Structure 1
């Protein structure tokens, strides 16, 4: 078998291809590292909404939520941003907000979060 024939059957990634894949993975890693704190904040807000549904009046629900906000230290939603409804005999607390993550130049990643108490 000649060397030119065996070279045609070789497979693999070139150094330039490897650098390209590494650059793409690094960019994705940076974005994921910025998204994870917003997910943790969303979980804290959902937990606070579930705690706030124990209130019986709208001001009481908002006060409970604001106390939970002070404990968990999130800034995206406050008690005045809540939508409080009574469905049957249950209080349902819902919220919606968005977060923007600056990527580069004029590019932003916008994350829209919404949820309600269970």
Structure 2
């Protein structure tokens, strides 16, 4: 009985794997993505913190615009992550149902490397 075994040099069996160039390419892509993500994440976290604070203030339905600004300033002292926006940047209006609407917006430049910046425009309003 003869067995049909393939030798390591058999042409019907090709090697599979990642080349050194492929490994370096994907390593660079992953590293750049990680660096950008680490620089952008704090700004996204700040946006969600501002959104949460504005929603909480709008739900309490303060009677005047200075009361809204004072509540935001008080929350800003507690929430250390709010740095890009102040109470003066809030636009306070009422909608057709006489419900309080608080809008906010700011631009954030994230320094990536050298002369390269990422501009993020944050906009939001109370629910």
Same fold (TM over 0.5): yes
The 1-side partners of 2:10 and 2:34 are apart by 40
| Counterpart residue number, 1:89 | 98
- Secondary structure in 2 aligned to 1:5? coil
How far did 1:11 drift? 3.3
What stretches of structure 1 move > 6 A for 4+ residues in a row? Answer: none
The 2-side partners of 1:65 and 1:50 are apart by 11
Larger Rg: 2
How far did 1:12 drift? 2.5
Structure 1: runs of 5+ lacking an equivalent: none
How far did 1:10 drift? 3.1
Structure 2: runs of 5+ lacking an equivalent: 1-5
TM-score, with length taken from structure 2: 0.83
TM-score, with length taken from structure 1: 0.89
Q: C-alpha root-mean-square deviation of aligned residues, in Å?
A: 1.7
The 1-side partners of 2:119 and 2:29 are apart by 20
How far did 1:6 drift? 4.4
- Secondary structure in 2 aligned to 1:47? helix
- Secondary structure in 1 aligned to 2:120? strand
Q: 1:61 aligns with which of 39, 43, 68?
A: 68
What are the superposed Cα offsets for residues 25-48 of structure 1, whole Å, 9 maximum, x if unpaired? 011001111111111111110111
| Counterpart residue number, 1:46 | 51
Of Structure 1 and Structure 2, which has the larger fraction of its residues in helix?
Answer: 1
1:115 counterpart = 2:120: no
On the 8 A contact 1:100/1:109 being kept in 2, the answer is: yes
What are the superposed Cα offsets for residues 72-111 of structure 1, whole Å, 9 maximum, x if unpaired? 0211111100011111221100101111111112111111
1:37 counterpart = 2:46: no
What is the number of residues matched between the two proteins? Answer: 117
